[in-house]
Structure 1
Amino acid sequence: MASPSPLKRERDESTNGAALSSDDDFTTASSSPTSKKAKSPSADPSSAPLTSAAGQTEQLEAIFRNLRLRRIVKENHTSEINQLAFCLNTRHNHTPFGLDQVKTFEKRGAVKRDPEDNSNILGTTGGPQANIYDNEHCGDHLDIMSHFLLDPVVEDGAEEVPEMLTCCWIHQPQDAILATAGTDKLIHILSLARSKELVRLGGHTHTITDIQAHPTRDECLLSASKDGTVRMWNILTGKCLMIFEIKASVTCFNPNSDGQTFLTGGYNGEIREWTMPTLESDPEEPIVVLANDSRVLQSGLHTARIDCIRFAKGKVLSKSVNGKVEYWDPSTLEKIRTFSIKNTASNQCRFDVSMDELFFCVGTSNGSVYVYNIDSGKTVTELKYRRSTKAIRTCIFSRDSRTIVCAGEDSFIWRYDYVTDETLNEWANWKAEP
């Protein structure tokens, strides 16, 4: 019997993809007997005029309650899918998002888009693989675009299959770059346009648990490792620019500081704020920043390992593996609200914040996904399907907020899409015809 993955062992101690159709062609998210069936609007709420912020929030909630499971994909590595990422670039791509995004189509059926808009591209990482899908131009399908199989790691004469734990997208002209990392201690820089690995960044001496793209420097990314360091890299030169001496499980840039500050979440629940040293050019040797040069923002808010941090409207959402999401102000350090994830045991899951920063979605240990209203603190909906029974490790919103994609332990990708009642009636009538 194969031994559990390093990531699974840690969880136990601490407390080319093939598409499959679902058994039911189109399944309501509320088909589970444990979830309540949401009342769908009589008309498409996304087409109603936007009269106010409250009206926009109400329309989005109606959309989330009307999400249906439309696609299931099984990746062939049989390992956990540890992270999903849409290629959403707000710095270079100014396409509207949420309810403001209205898609127009060419005669052949392709979506008209800004040349810099790659938001249809979905990256996944798990096992020894990174896969890239087109989520938009293939009807109901997730069509595989690129498949990267990473080489085994050889140490002390033994060969070990690496497990990729994290990924992020990096903008480069005429290309979409996916960076991925994990147990092999390397950061792999993968080009979608060239369909090949461009470079490997080496320097970490232990598993890399998180990587984040710099919000204003397209050539830079941040990585957190179990070796007790967080590092800033230049992917074009392959050089490590800075070393921050902290053992962090996750990182997150502050979008309001243009990347000059970032947060780290620790294994003991501690959250620190770091300031980047000012650089006029890349240093010959990495600049070392000591832990004493950082500021502890939260030390008692969480009591377990931090597994995800995100910003929303200038405030911070931080999650620990014991199912607590805290919403707090980084300026005053005041706690605003606590979200206790329902129906879940201890579970690592990267949550996501919608691009309008009004909602977040998070997975559970029993295979469901919850959508929460950040301002009100209320649960908007639960997405659940009877075949989804394993832990969800990652979930994300699409740019237009009409799709939520999630994945986890069983190497399945689950895609829930917004479907109007009128469309469902059309499908039902079509199926009923002899």
Structure 2
Amino acid sequence: MSKLSALGCEPVTGNPLAPKKRDYKVTNRLQEGKRPLYAVVFNFIDSRYVNVFATVGGNRVTIYQCLEGGVIAVLQSYVDEDKDESFYTVSWACSVDGNPFVVAGGINGIIRVIDTGSEKIHKSFVGHGDSVNEIRTQTLKPSLVISASKDESVRLWNVHTGVCILIFAGAGGHRNEVLSVDFHPSDMNKIASCGMDNTVKIWSMKEFSSYVEKSFTWTDLPSKFPTKYVQFPIFNATVHTNYVDCTRWLGDFVLSKSVDNEILLWEPKVKEQTPGEGVVDVLQRYPVAECDIWFIKFSCDFHFKEVAIGNREGKIFVWELQSSPPVLVSRLSHLQSKSVIRQTAMSYDGSTILCCCEDGTIWRWDAVTNSSD
């Protein structure tokens, strides 16, 4: 497939579903608590901490480290002052001087920025009118984070100054909860969002780049910053017929999933004559059995070679992204893993896969090297 060659995808011969040599085994299982865990994320922002990950569940944010032999060490834990808080999402970010932050949000709509160096709250972002469903970090400028909310908006924040720079909402915005959002990996100005209105929208903040820069040097109260609205996306896609709860860029292509038991890889084609409207070219489909409930999020390794996603029966599917047709690398299952997997996290090189579950457990799977390798 010529379009995929841009991503380095090579056609494969033989059985496309034949497993790769790498398999995984369970090396650890932790019971963090009784409340559901909704998110687990490795730190890809700082190369010193790529084996460190964070989880959220209830009003707690916990930071762990993956060690040799399947060991998982607890490094830090934060309990929010509001007992009724239920965090749904967490992301890694950093200050302008490189200090690592974790940024978490959930049912209360307040975003907590926690300084892992001082182990204290650095900032609290108040602005969303309802739950925060996902937070993502701009890897090119990791002081910038973006949040997706039940209030039908997406907001761009600067964790260094506490400023809300842009709000993506309005006439052309989402018409229901925004469930997922992602920064383009190389184009600073592009983001993708998706939600309960069954759409995926691509937005540009190019004309507001001066405001993004201004946010880094803002010294007045954050509430006095001239926050701007972006009301119209540059692309609006109806790729799915139901809620779209996870979207990620793969180069200039988009990965997205709904509740129809598959992840889609597609190319957005913007019509120059009619900005905002476009054509979707579906390139590949990655089937995921028993994945027909919403708020199940997939993850990729750092180089986007593979994608891992859990399902409602506690199983994990690992697909090779850099091949056409798609190759199912592994289907992971364990007799004791029966709970809904809300999110997976693949390590930097894909050798470790974590998942967090509805029953409050964290599972660690590590790659097994076959003797034939």
The TM-score normalised by the length of structure 2 is 0.82
Which runs of structure 2 are paired with 1:14-93 in the superposition (5 Å)?
A: 61-63=20-22, 65=23, 67-76=24-33, 78-89=34-45
What secondary structure, in the 3-state scheme, does the structure 2 residue paired with 1:389 have?
A: coil
Paired with 2:69 and 2:287, the residues of 1 have a C-alpha distance of: 36
Paired with 1:53 and 1:327, the residues of 2 have a C-alpha distance of: 16
Flag the structure with higher helix content. Answer: 1
- C-alpha contact (below 8 Å) 1:323/1:347 kept by paired residues: no
The residue type equivalent to 1:262 in the other structure is I
1:341 is displaced (CA, Å) by: 1.1
Counterpart in the other structure of 2:203: 274
The residue type equivalent to 1:342 in the other structure is A
- Match for 1:239 among 122, 147, 163? 163
Paired with 2:150 and 2:62, the residues of 1 have a C-alpha distance of: 25
The residue type equivalent to 1:266 in the other structure is G
1:218 is displaced (CA, Å) by: 2.5
Q: 1:305 to 1:344 in 2, by over 3 A?
A: closer
1:304 is displaced (CA, Å) by: 1.2
Paired with 1:174 and 1:373, the residues of 2 have a C-alpha distance of: 33
Identity of aligned residues (%): 22
- Match for 2:295 among 318, 340, 348? 348
Q: 1:363 to 1:214 in 2, by over 3 A?
A: same
Q: 1:236 to 1:313 in 2, by over 3 A?
A: closer
Q: CA RMSD in A?
A: 2.4
Per chain length, whose mean CA-contact separation is higher, i.e. which structure has more relative contact order (CA < 8 Å, sep 6+)?
2
What secondary structure, in the 3-state scheme, does the structure 2 residue paired with 1:281 have?
A: helix
What secondary structure, in the 3-state scheme, does the structure 1 residue paired with 2:140 have?
A: coil
1:309 correspondence with 2:247: yes
- C-alpha contact (below 8 Å) 2:26/2:365 kept by paired residues: yes
- C-alpha contact (below 8 Å) 2:204/2:234 kept by paired residues: no
The residue type equivalent to 2:62 in the other structure is N
Paired with 1:284 and 1:355, the residues of 2 have a C-alpha distance of: 34
- Match for 2:313 among 342, 358, 366? 366
The residue type equivalent to 1:186 in the other structure is I
Paired with 1:377 and 1:240, the residues of 2 have a C-alpha distance of: 40
- C-alpha contact (below 8 Å) 2:70/2:364 kept by paired residues: no
- Match for 2:57 among 110, 114, 126? 126
The residue type equivalent to 1:62 in the other structure is K
What secondary structure, in the 3-state scheme, does the structure 2 residue paired with 1:329 have?
A: strand
Paired with 1:241 and 1:174, the residues of 2 have a C-alpha distance of: 21
- Match for 1:328 among 260, 266, 290? 266
1:261 correspondence with 2:190: yes
Paired with 1:275 and 1:79, the residues of 2 have a C-alpha distance of: 37
- Match for 1:165 among 88, 105, 121? 88
Paired with 1:419 and 1:330, the residues of 2 have a C-alpha distance of: 37
How many residues are treated as equivalent by the alignment?
Answer: 330
Instruction: Please list every run of 5 or more consecutive structure 1 residues that lacks an aligned counterpart in the other structure.
Output: 1-51, 94-115, 153-159, 423-434
Q: 1:345 to 1:335 in 2, by over 3 A?
A: closer
Which deviates the most, 316-325 or 184-193?
316-325
- C-alpha contact (below 8 Å) 2:303/2:349 kept by paired residues: no
Which entry has the higher C-alpha Rg, 1 or 2?
Answer: 1
Paired with 1:414 and 1:382, the residues of 2 have a C-alpha distance of: 15
What secondary structure, in the 3-state scheme, does the structure 1 residue paired with 2:148 have?
A: strand
Paired with 1:326 and 1:233, the residues of 2 have a C-alpha distance of: 29
The superposition leaves residues 339-360 of structure 1 with CA deviations (integer Å, 9 ceiling, x where unpaired) of 2311344242110122232221
Counterpart in the other structure of 1:99: none
The superposition leaves residues 266-320 of structure 1 with CA deviations (integer Å, 9 ceiling, x where unpaired) of 2121111111122152383211111xx2133312x20111111112243211011
Which runs of structure 2 are paired with 1:193-272 in the superposition (5 Å)?
A: 193-245=117-169, 246-247=173-174, 248-257=178-187, 259-272=188-201
1:415 correspondence with 2:364: yes
- C-alpha contact (below 8 Å) 1:270/1:296 kept by paired residues: no
1:254 is displaced (CA, Å) by: 1.2
The TM-score normalised by the length of structure 1 is 0.71
Paired with 2:113 and 2:124, the residues of 1 have a C-alpha distance of: 6
1:53 is displaced (CA, Å) by: 7.4
Paired with 1:260 and 1:322, the residues of 2 have a C-alpha distance of: 30
Counterpart in the other structure of 1:429: none
Which deviates the most, 117-126 or 272-281?
272-281
Flag the structure with higher strand content. Answer: 2
- C-alpha contact (below 8 Å) 2:94/2:142 kept by paired residues: yes
- C-alpha contact (below 8 Å) 1:73/1:413 kept by paired residues: yes
- C-alpha contact (below 8 Å) 2:181/2:192 kept by paired residues: yes
Paired with 1:419 and 1:234, the residues of 2 have a C-alpha distance of: 41
Which runs of structure 2 are paired with 1:372-387 in the superposition (5 Å)?
A: 372-374=319-321, 375=323, 376-387=325-336
- C-alpha contact (below 8 Å) 1:314/1:329 kept by paired residues: yes
What secondary structure, in the 3-state scheme, does the structure 1 residue paired with 2:284 have?
A: strand
